[in-house]
Structure 1
Amino acid sequence: MRSRLSRGVVLLAAATLAVLGSGATAQAGAPAPGNEPTKSVEATYSERGPWEVTKQQGFGCCDSSGHKFDVWYPTDLGADGTQHPIITWGDGTWAHPYQYDYLLSHLASWGFVVIAPDNTNTGSGQEMLQGVDFLKQQNSDPSSVFYQTLDTDNVGAMGHSQGAVGSLNATIASGGAIKSTVPIELPGQFMCTLGMPKADPAMTICTDPRKLTTGSVLYVNGSGSPISPSTQPAPWEQIGPQSAQGYFGATPDSVEKAMATLNGPNHNDIQGQPGCPPNDPGCVSGVQGFLGVLTAWQMDKLQGDEHAHGAFVSGTGELFGQTAWSNQASNITG
């Protein structure tokens, strides 16, 4: 039994090494089905929100490694007394915030202020927390555009790949300050133990969802990613969380949690603008199919949107009836 389980993880690791070595994501085995939203919540939040958006690279300095913060925010900050929740973003390995511009602008159009350290090593989560601290200081600074416009009690963390690891680590280390976490394409734990030659040290940082004690978490992945599988070859208790299913199972039931897999996309489709970037043979369908679910979750958890909340109720929420999604699970009951 042990050799069979080990072989499953080794095969997964071998596929991952092939992907990283090629410089592009592996093509999914089947073409992506149409993933246009067919239900009201996802359709609503797949569309651009009501706020015009301002974005600025290098807005402020700096995280502990000296990397500046990029920001996306509603242009008319604080209009009608609005207090804007904060979302801190973590990049994937070797990626930069501008590569996620379409997604981060979309979130800002729904009233969030998004901050991202321009740092390719975000797995520890500390850089993401430093972004939150920076915005809290801005909220108290009369000379800042953000002065008294931020809802500092409602903070979310999101990230892609290594940044997904960082989003969980930031939440665990935040002492309850982060209320909502969305890891996108969270690598299986085998990735942080591979010991690949010339691997970036940040790629050896793991995360342990069992340490989550507060907040809420939504695990999201695309079905075409070999780095972030949907399901486990064996229970996570035996081999660790190696998939969205494994991380979901290892997350305490005391924490509100959900997971879902978008059928088709590969590991880097989340960087789409909104379709597939030019000259990216690994991209299947781009970011568009992710937008509604990701935004609805944050609208529920950080803005108290009851319409969005209903989509994630176990069994009856509209997420469970979407043909573009699979591997859905939730412990949210009402």
Structure 2
Amino acid sequence: MLLPQVASATTYQLTGPIERRYAADGPWATATMVTRPCDRESNVCDIWYPSDLGSNPLKQETTGFHHPAIVFADGTSDGITADYAAFFLRHLASWGFIVIRSRDGATGHGDTVLDTASFLLDLAKNTGSIFYEKVDADNVGLVGHSQGAATTTLLFSRNTPIFKTYVPIETPIRPFCVIVKCTIDLGALAKVTHGSIFYIGGDLDAASSLPTNLGYYAPTSSKIDKVMGMIAGGSHGEIQGNPGCESVGIPLYCNIGAYPLLGYPTAWFMWKLQNAADGPAAFAENGELSHAAPNWLGVLSNVRNR
């Protein structure tokens, strides 16, 4: 029997100048902290953030910069640890984002995710916090993995006002969401009027296959920017790479690692939350991502060059 060749850190090659730019570390040094309980389930939060808050090396600004924020929704777990997706989240912080997540492994309808966003925005109003007047409350994004990706899509479908853009990674099949209470109303996706979304799956991920992601992408309203892409050789746990894969005892759970998730998701957030000019060139219907094969497959987009 012939087995498909699985991509790895040694075979995954950055394919275009935009991906190469954002797959590299950004110009901000980073720090991290663990907070007090930050949601209604009394979970603590982890925050990754630029250590020189208020500066923007991209614009040669030393003070006065308000950092966009990204909230992360975890996948299903009985106990989220500090290192869950930490390489990926620190990478985002190196591009100027304040990144926060609750250690909730059952995000479901999204109540704790909303609590987490509110917790950070409250810190930005607290004179005793290092984040005081450092957060751009008008530019907050949401990214989630697995169950957290379903929660991300669910909150998107509800036109949740606090989030400006969404990146669900490895959104699971609908029967799974019935069990863990993250079911997405496909009819609601057609009525979305706020935000934008970048669906990411893996073509070796039975839980988040091409048909599964297409089932979310297709009914999503065409009135907002929407993009879909499948990581070639990608399975369900790539986001937990550090940045490569470490054995977690589950066959094919992580084949490539975080490498393919560093470039284009960062480029998306830079476009949507920091107004980076190269966003349309990356994500337009005939943009760089659409030509990123063999690393990215099944790319769909309604984004027009601007």
Counterpart residue number, 2:202: 222
**Do the aligned partners of 2:195 and 2:224 also contact (CA within 8 Å) in 1?**
yes
Give a deviation string over 1:260-294, Cα, whole Å, max 9, x none. Answer: 00100210111100000145542211111121011
SS, match of residue 99 in structure 1: coil
Q: Quick check: 2:147–2:177 contact (8 Å CA) kept in 1?
A: no
Residues 1:105 and 2:101 are matched in the alignment? no
Q: Residue type of the partner of 2:237?
A: N
Deviates most, 30-39 or 252-261? 30-39
2:43 aligns to what? Answer: 67
Aligned mates of 2:37, 2:47 — CA distance in 1: 12
What are the residue-to-residue correspondences of 1:5-24 with 2, within 5 Å? none
The question of whether the paired residues in 2 share the 8 Å contact of 1:189 and 1:206 is answered with yes
Equivalent of residue 285 in structure 1, options 236, 256, 261: 256
Which residue, 84, 101, 105 being the options, matches 2:67? 84
> Aligned to 2:278, what secondary structure does the other structure show?
helix
Q: Distance in 2 between the 1:108 and 1:192 partners?
A: 30
User: How far apart are the structure 2 equivalents of 1:150 and 1:45?
Assistant: 22
Cα distance, 1:218 vs structure 2: 0.2
Q: 2:110 aligns with which of 125, 137, 140?
A: 125
Following superposition, the deviation at residue 121 of structure 1 comes to 0.7
Q: Does 1:207 align with 2:187?
A: no
Q: 2:280·2:304 contact (CA, 8 Å) conserved in 1?
A: no
Structure 1 residues 174 and 247, CA, compared in 2 at 3 Å: closer, same or farther?
A: closer
CA RMSD across the alignment: 1.6
Q: Which residue of 2 aligns with 1:333?
A: 304
Moved more, 123-132 or 255-264: 123-132
Question: Whole-Å Cα distance in 1 between the matches of residues 146 and 5 of structure 2?
Answer: 22
Q: Which consecutive residues of structure 2, in runs of 5 or more, have no partner in the other structure?
A: 56-61
1:255 and 2:224 equivalent?
Answer: yes
SS of 1:66's equivalent in the other structure is coil
Whole-angstrom distance in 1 between the partners of 2:37 and 2:158? 22
Distance 1:258 1:135, change over 3 A: same
In the alignment, which residue of structure 1 is the partner of 2:289?
319
Amino acid at match of 1:267: H
Structure 1 gap ranges (5+): 1-27, 196-202, 232-242
Per-residue Cα deviation, 1:156-215 (whole angstroms, up to 9, x for no partner): 00000100011123334464321110000001212223x5xxxxxxx2321223353210
CA distance in 1 between partners of 2:266 and 2:175 (Å) = 29
Q: Which residue of the partner structure matches residue 215 of structure 2?
A: 246
Helix, strand or coil: the match of 1:254?
coil
Number of paired residues? 286
Give the letter aligned to residue 260 of structure 2: G
Rounded Cα–Cα distance in structure 1 between residues aligned with 2:116 and 2:191: 22
> In the alignment, is the contact (CA less than 8 A) between 2:158 and 2:192 conserved in 1?
no
SS of alignment partner, residue 258 of structure 1: strand
Please, which moves more after superposition, 273-282 or 139-148? 273-282
Which amino acid counterpart does residue 320 of structure 1 have in structure 2? S
How far the C-alpha of 1:128 sits from its partner, in A, is: 1.2
Shift of 1:135: 1.0
Question: For the Cα contact (< 8 Å) 1:67–1:119, is it kept in 2?
Answer: yes
Q: Is the 8 A contact 1:297 1:309 kept in 2?
A: no
Deviates more, 1:178-187 or 1:203-212: 203-212
Q: Distance in 2 between matches of 1:89 and 1:30?
A: 31
Task: Map 1:179-194 to 2 at 5 A.
Answer: 179-193=164-178
Report how far residue 112 of structure 1 moved.
0.5
CA distance in 2, matches of 1:174, 1:249: 17
Counterpart AA for 1:302: L
Where does residue 121 of structure 2 map in the other structure?
A: 136
Distance 1:172 1:320 in 2: 25
Matches within 5 A, 1:158-177: 158-173=143-158, 175-177=160-162
The structure-2 alpha-carbon separation of the partners of 1:60 and 1:212, relative to structure 1 and needing over 3 Å to count, comes to: farther
Percent of residue pairs bearing the same amino acid type = 35
Structure 1 length-normalised TM: 0.82
**CA 175–185 in structure 1, closer or farther in 2 if over 3 Å, else same:** closer
Where does residue 14 of structure 1 map in the other structure? none
**Contact 2:68-2:274 at 8 Å conserved across structures:** yes
CA contact under 8 A between 1:157 and 1:170: conserved in structure 2? no
